[in-house]
Amino acid sequence: MGIAGKLLGLVFAVSGFLILWWGMGTNDALSLLYSFIGMFVMAMGFALLTSGRQQKEEKPPPPTVTEIRCSSCDFKEIRDFQKGDYVLKAVEATCPKCQGAMTIEGVYMVREDTEDKDRI
Ligand SMILES: [Zn+2]
């Protein structure tokens, strides 16, 4: 919920209050209904205003990638980290360029904010 949600919540709260105030000021049969609607709209507005405050933004664990390098040529490939990957492990896949054997050269954690790579 961004600033638009907060603004919407404020609009709801204020208009709810106005409907409530106007509903209580009138003496016709619908005044009770207006008061009720006013309270409801106001409650919705406050719910919008307060939403997002309690819930913390949970960051997913940083994605881990595996860098595979061909031992014959300089072909490099980055793929998602798979369980059991470790540095210098020979992978089953062969190099798409020269069909040579490929080994894992590095396992990295990718930081989302800086795009920097951390070597494990
Ligand atoms: Zn190769």
| pLDDT tens-place string over residues 29-83 | 778 888 889 899 999 999 888 876 655 667 777 789 999 999 999 999 999 999 9
Question: In the chain, where do the E strands start and end?
Answer: 64-70, 76-80, 90-94, 101-110, 117-119
Cα 17 to middle of ligand 1, angstroms? 71
Instruction: Return the pLDDT at 6.
Output: 86
Cα 80 to middle of ligand 1, angstroms? 20
Instruction: Return the pLDDT at 4.
Output: 84
Cα 76 to middle of ligand 1, angstroms? 8
Token readout for 90 is 């020979």
Structural contact between residues 53 and 46, judged by C-beta atoms closer than 8 angstroms = no
